[in-house]
Chains A and B, each alone.
Chain A
Amino acid sequence: MAEVILKNLSKRWGDFVGVDNQSLDIHDKEFLVLLGPSGCGKTTTMRMIAGLEEPTSGEIWIGERQVNDDLPKDRDVAMVFQNYGLYPHMTIFDNIAYPLKVRGTPKAEIRPRVERAAAQVELTQFLDRKPKALSGGQRQRVALARAIVRTPKVFLMDEPLSNLDAKLRVTMRAELKHLSRELKVTTVYVTHDQIEAMTLADRVAVMKHGIIQQLGTPDEIYNDPANLFVAGFIGSPAMNLVRGRIEGGQFLTEDGVKLSPIASEDRSEVVLGVRADDINVHEAGEGDIDAPIYAFENTGEASFLTVEWGDQRVIARGDRHLRKDQDDVVGLSLNPDHLYLFDPNTEKRIRL
């Protein structure tokens, strides 16, 4: 049980910057998710914590100890890999037992501990098989069991669910959440999937270009995005971002469509952010603004309308019983309590 502290951590390969001077405190027993698109430095950050990658500069602390110079084996961490990293020539039992064996755990102790870990992930009847004979989800469980068979200071999980099919991913996500609440071990979890991040995390760090864009609880990340990137990355569908200006308490799109009253001083360049949920759909003429439908999509649980404001498209969420057709005109109104403004040049949020 320990906290993990990164101080001014950087990783460069020649001119390429993987992680750029980042500092991060991960609390004891916290479940922290590093979230971002591929190439954002999240995996590199985790691999530096594991000791698989050497930082170019900066410090890594696990508990009371600076571990920069420690080999992976001496850091007392456990890791679940994207492709599981199972040992194909060993049985499942030996796979799970390996971290104990190699650390010199007494023989008598190994069997009960492996069996308990296997039971926790429901693998008991597969212990004699080789990884090849297991399905993807089962292999995933072996990787988990191998991590939890010891009590490491930190769990590291590198996109552990990304190789599973969509349905299994949802099941495993719940199991993972259940397990992590039960074990209460500091966990760093890397993913590019925002749903995983939102559902699993105590706190999320959104990364891009080697820099943490925002660190906060899932609620904060969703409801209070710090900049354009976070706003556009979190949420499904992504937040609508409309370029325009503010004149006399009104937001106008780039091509002059008057959209919504907003409590802000005049600005010549601004980006308005609004989630699909916060755009209400009415019949034509009944909202603040009328717009033609570019595409109408019905997902069963909701309907999504892509409409055109000038030459910018936004997506609005309508009732699941709503039926419209392409080129129909609908009325829209924005929920004034959930509008966000961003500076298009600095990409920072403009607080109202």
Chain B
Amino acid sequence: MTGKQRKQVWNAVQLTLIMIATFIMLVPIVWIFLAAFKTHVDVYQLKLFFTPTLENFSTVFDDPYRLGEKLFNSTIVALVTVIFAIPIATCAAYSFSRFRLRGETTMLVMILATQFVPAVVIILPFFVMFRDVGLLDTRLGLILVNLAIVMPFAIWMIKGFIDGIPMDTEEAAMVDGSSRLQVIWNIVLPMAAPGLLTAAIFCFIIAWNEFLFALILTNKNAVTLPIGLALFKGEEGDLWNLLSAAGIIIMAPMFVLALLIRKYFVQGMTMGAVR
């Protein structure tokens, strides 16, 4: 074989592998997607062609499933978590980025470390405390613990964005007559705005997908979407068509959000260890 032929064969091999990988990646998602539009009967057969129905989507919102309530809970919890987390994280990130603080490295490592502590460790004391103060099964309780998982990501991610703003610009504003707070408000925030939005979306996705805290802390009123999946275990087994419809409701908005910020996902998840 000539070098050119070998190259062509090698290219074909690569393309085949890529197609296989893509196929494996998409199949479970597509399968859920299809199942969500299948009838109760069709879903229990390996059918690729069927008459689609939207019935599952209305069923999940009706009694006894009432997925609407879970959707509402998930939205409120994720949204309020982000609304608290981002401003707090932004202040801290600015300070970490621009000043030398006493114990700065220690603080940053601690913040990093809290992300890596198993969630079960954190949730046990919270369960006991919430039981005592009546925060079990409340959205407020969930929001509080969700801050725990979201904050480290938010701080590290926003710090990364602020690190990228040239110091020159801020110093120019200071010489031009701004106080430090004016600099933050007039210069840093507008320049970091896309980064803040990215971090907010990232945190929203994390809070939305959060499972363990909601599993332990809620049982009726504050149940979120991922926990709501357990509703579709009927006496005769899993109701796959309904589970799939609920699954789509959970993942479709996250797909859209994730695609919006896909460039920053890696940086966010690795807390700046990989850019």
Binding site for B on A (CB under 8 A): 50-52, 71-73, 75, 77-79, 81-89, 98-99, 102-103, 143, 146, 156
Contacts and interface: CB of A to CB of B under 8 A. Distances in A.
A146 B176 contact: yes
5 contacts: A73-B176, A85-B171, A102-B173, A102-B178, A103-B177
Given A83-B166, A85-B172, A71 B179 contact: yes
Contacts of B182: 102
Nearest to A75: B175
Given A87-B187, A89-B190, A102-B186, A81 B179 contact: no
A81 B172 contact: yes
A98 B182 CA distance: 11
Contacts of A50: 171, 175
Contact of B174 (A72, A83, A87, A156): A72
B171 A102 contact: no
Interface in B162-190: 166, 168-179, 182, 186-187, 190
Contacts of A83: 166, 168
Nearest to B171: A52
Contacts of B177: 73, 99, 102-103
A102 B191 contact: no
A78 B191 contact: no
Interface of B: 166, 168-179, 182, 186-187, 190-191
Closest 5 interchain pairs by CB? Answer: A85-B172, A85-B168, A99-B176, A72-B174, A79-B175
Given A71-B179, A102-B177, A102-B182, A79 B169 contact: no
Contacts of A85: 166, 168-173
Nearest to B175: A79
B174 A52 contact: yes
B186 A52 contact: no
B58 to A, nearest CB: 46
Nearest to B167: A85
B179 A73 contact: yes
B178 A79 contact: no
Contacts of B190: 89
A132 B177 CA distance: 24
Contacts of B175: 50-52, 72-73, 75, 77-79, 156
Given A73-B174, A83-B168, 9 more contacts: A51-B174, A71-B174, A78-B175, A85-B169, A98-B176, A98-B186, A99-B176, A99-B177, A102-B176
Identify whether the interface residues of B are mostly helix, strand, loop, or mixed: helix
B178 A88 contact: no
Contacts of A87: 169, 172-173, 187, 191
Given A89-B191, A102-B178, A79 B186 contact: no
Contacts of A52: 171, 174-175
B191 A146 contact: no
Given A52-B171, A98-B173, A73 B178 contact: yes
A44 B190 CA distance: 29
A156 B190 CA distance: 26
A88 B166 CA distance: 11
A348 B190 CA distance: 53
Nearest to A158: B168
A72 B191 contact: no
Contacts of A146: 172, 176
B79 to A, nearest CB: 26
A146 B170 CA distance: 14
Contacts of B174: 51-52, 71-73
Contacts of B170: 85
Nearest to A99: B176
A98 to B, nearest CB: 6
Given A85-B166, A88-B191, A79 B179 contact: no
Contacts of A72: 171, 174-175
Contacts of B187: 87
A305 to B, nearest CB: 44
Contacts of A78: 175-176
A109 to B, nearest CB: 15
A72 B177 CA distance: 7
A108 B170 CA distance: 26
B167 to A, nearest CB: 8
Contacts of A77: 175
A102 B185 CA distance: 12
Nearest to A146: B176
Nearest to A103: B177
B7 to A, nearest CB: 41
Nearest to B189: A89
Contacts of A102: 173, 176-178, 182, 186
Nearest to B174: A72
Nearest to A98: B176
B209 to A, nearest CB: 33
Contact of B169 (A88, A99, A156): A88
Nearest to B182: A102
A156 B171 CA distance: 12
Nearest to B192: A89
Contacts of A98: 173, 176, 186
A192 B30 CA distance: 63
Nearest to A78: B175
A73 B191 CA distance: 21
